[in-house]
Amino acid sequence: MELVDSHCHLQMDSFDRDREEVIRRALAAGVVDIIVSGFDSISNFKALELDSRQLLHVTLGLSPNMKRNESVEFIKSQILENVEKIVAVGEIGLDRVKSRIPFEKQKGIFKEFLSLAEEINKPVVIHAREAEIDAIEIARKYDVECMLHCFNGSFKALRMAQDSGYVVSISTMVAFSEKQKKIAREVEVENLVIETDSPFLSPKRGRNEPAFVKFALEEISKLKEIDEDELATFLTENSRNFYGLSESGIF
Ligand SMILES: [Zn+2]
């Protein structure tokens, strides 16, 4: 079985002491591609510094939950300087819950990155929290493929995303969240990918890691009554299509 962790933060400090072991465990669990997403200037740098072996793929962006004052221009230059190395722009997006940036300003920044992604012909990884419909309505105005990472919106937002042909990513949260289970039942397999968002959202105690993406697969397989192997094939193909990864994998 081949799995893709469609979104995680393997570059973060919490993996510094045992990143190699974490990658080994992911490989042992059948993970063939890991998408490492940047969310600010430092995490973008750290993502680029990771060993560029075949299973690691990088996206660069600026989260609406940025901690420090970040320069949009600087992040844009990081993206432009590394166009050949990245598989998408993101995470970028809108957040009504956690962001300290005024919503209108978030929208402006989001649009700048969508326009850059359109220009460099890369897909976009969107973080949207209580702002899914706003994000979709804005993104639709650009000619870009979008993935709504860690989707936790309404059924209306889900329909809009699917009608736009967007990819919906369900995280390991599906193992313990009733809302996530409802979304998983509703989403079309054609639009679905899975992720860990590690080190966050662990389905167990403690830190999440890419190997745990299999728990999302197991849960969704039960909820949708689709055989695990068959489901894994669909999800892996969806991820690879979205990020433009080769079919060859590492084996
Ligand atoms: Zn994330």
pLDDT at 251 over 90: no
Q: What is the pTM of this model?
A: 0.95
For the record, the structure tokens of 236 come out as 């892996």
Residue 143 lies in a domain: yes
**Collapsed DSSP state (helix, strand, coil) of residue 95:** strand
pLDDT tens-digit readout, 79-95: 999 999 999 999 999 99
Give the span between the Cα atoms of 217 and 115, in whole angstroms: 33
What distance in angstroms lies between residue 148's CA and the mean position of ligand 1's atoms?
11
Residue 202 lies in a domain: yes
What distance in angstroms lies between residue 150's CA and the mean position of ligand 1's atoms?
8
In sequence order, what are the beta bridge partners of 58? Answer: 36, 86
What distance in angstroms lies between residue 13's CA and the mean position of ligand 1's atoms?
14
For the record, the structure tokens of 230 come out as 């068959």
Residue 91 lies in a domain: yes
pLDDT at 196 over 60: yes
Residue 152 lies in a domain: yes
What distance in angstroms lies between residue 9's CA and the mean position of ligand 1's atoms?
6
What distance in angstroms lies between residue 119's CA and the mean position of ligand 1's atoms?
24
Report the domain count for the chain.
Answer: 1
Question: Domain range for residue 152?
Answer: 3-243
| CATH number reported for the structural domain that contains residue 223 in this entry | 3.20.20.140
pLDDT category of residue 74 using cuts at 50, 70 and 90: very high
Least confident of 38-47, 67-76, 116-125, 134-143: 67-76
Strands 3-8 and 167-171: unpaired
- At 247 the pLDDT is 60
